[in-house]
Homo-oligomer: A and B are copies of this chain.
Amino acid sequence: MTYNDDGDEPEDARGETEETIKKRPPGLPKNEKLVWDVLAQSDDPMKAYEILDCLKEKGVRAPMTIYRALDGLERKGHIHKLEGLNAFVLCNHEGPHMVQTFLVCERCPKVRELEVRSVEADIEAAVDVSNFQMNTARLEIKGLCHLCAGAE
């Protein structure tokens, strides 16, 4: 058995992943696949220890395992960390991008990732003026989501 025994689908035999819509990127090591699948089944961002809880049943015991997988996934651009929540979400679009924009509800756990071209352009311009060499940027917008705002 190798560390990269890629099935195209999760090896899970119990049908837990039937609602997964997103397609898991190929070539991930075992633990990164496990973590990716957990995140894919969650509508909301998840904390490292929550992911760990979900994977206890699969034999994962140590936080280290989760953090290593998260680190790998993040370096490959498959997930983002929401620093304000200490939580992680799948990236929801193709290709690399410099500015990640999130709408974070303060009343419910919902987070949406946006892609806002005009913001990206403005940022690049402003940063340029400041003589700063941008690598990545993360914009976390806090407030009330659609539903929570409606409910006052």
**A interface residues, Cβ below 8 angstroms from B:** 83-84, 101, 103, 106, 112, 114, 116, 118-119, 122-123, 125-127, 130-146, 149
Do B142 and A137 touch across chains, with their CB atoms under 8 A apart? yes
A-B contact pairs, 10 of them (CB 8 A): A83-B140, A116-B123, A119-B126, A127-B141, A132-B144, A137-B139, A137-B141, A138-B140, A139-B140, A140-B140
Number of copies: 2
- With a cutoff of 8 Å between Cβ atoms, the chain B residues found around residue A142 in the complex are 134-138
Distance of A112 from chain B, by nearest CB (Å):
7
Question: With contacts A83-B83, A135-B144, A140-B138 known, is A119 near B123, CB below 8 A?
Answer: yes
Closest to A125 in B: B118
